[in-house]
Amino acid sequence: MIGILLAVLLVTSDAPSLSPRAAELIAPVRQALDAERKAQAALPPPANDSERLERMGRLDQVGRRVLIQIDLSVLPAEELKAAEKAMWAPIEEADAENEKALLAMVPPEGWFLKSRYGDRAAKAAFNIVQHSNLELWRRFVPVLEPLVASGEVDGQSYGLMYDRLALNEGRPQRYGSQMVCKDGKYVVDTLEAPEAVDERRKAMGFLTPLAEYEAAFAKYPPCN
């Protein structure tokens, strides 16, 4: 209980306009990140870049796993934007920290190959870049594309980053992997040649057809 109260107080101080109810709702995000940082601080230093990337990957994911379960729709409409911004703030702090560390580690070949770094470290590197910005997506999408054929990059990972770049550049998605919020629901927006999207998804290793992928998002709380 004391930990929850402290987390709520911290969130409230970060965003003083939030109501106690909103601060309580979003507090678990910062709590999860703080707990992960504390757990990692108790470990010996990472033995190599693979281990370092894996730890960075855990930091990347822990807050997001909590965030996706939080339903802000119970708040007054006038408070939603401020609550969402405050909820994302600790994740964005961790993202900036991870991004800086990753860019200092990029090898000469331009990416963290699975054969050298291992699957988990390579996946962590992908997630960190996927959660970064337009500049880095433009840098790494061309690097990842030829590595799919050699098996050094998962096709699904490439597809996710390709679609995120396309979405942010105002172009149609190729694989339908990026959800946008419309009328409180997560949906896939414009698609390149939609009649062939399931063929493209299958070729890149996506496990489900687009309709099934979209349906899975129906279980999440309403988006804003």
Residue written as token pair 């057809």 = 209
Distance CA 98, CA 116 (A): 20
User: Residue 182 in 3-state DSSP?
Assistant: strand
User: Residue 185 in 3-state DSSP?
Assistant: strand
Q: What is the pLDDT of residue 9?
A: 44
Kindly give the confidence (pLDDT) of every residue in the chain, 224 residues in length, as a single tens digit, with 9 standing for 90 and above.
444 444 444 454 455 589 999 999 999 999 999 999 999 999 999 999 999 999 999 999 999 999 999 999 899 999 999 999 999 999 999 999 999 999 999 999 999 999 999 999 999 999 999 999 999 999 999 999 999 999 999 999 999 999 999 999 999 999 999 999 888 888 898 999 999 999 999 999 999 999 999 999 888 878 87
Radius of gyration of the chain (CA): 19
Contact between 97 and 111 under an 8 Å Cβ cutoff? The reply is no
**pTM of this prediction?**
0.83
Distance CA 90, CA 13 (A): 13
Distance CA 150, CA 140 (A): 16
Work out the number of other CB atoms within 10 angstroms of the CB of residue 20.
Answer: 11
Both structure tokens of 35? 């707990």
Work out the number of other CB atoms within 10 angstroms of the CB of residue 49.
Answer: 18
Name the DSSP class of 74: G
Both structure tokens of 8? 């709520």
Bridge partners (DSSP) of residue 188 are 179
User: What ranges do the domains of the chain cover?
Assistant: 1-132, 133-224
Q: What is the pLDDT of residue 15?
A: 52
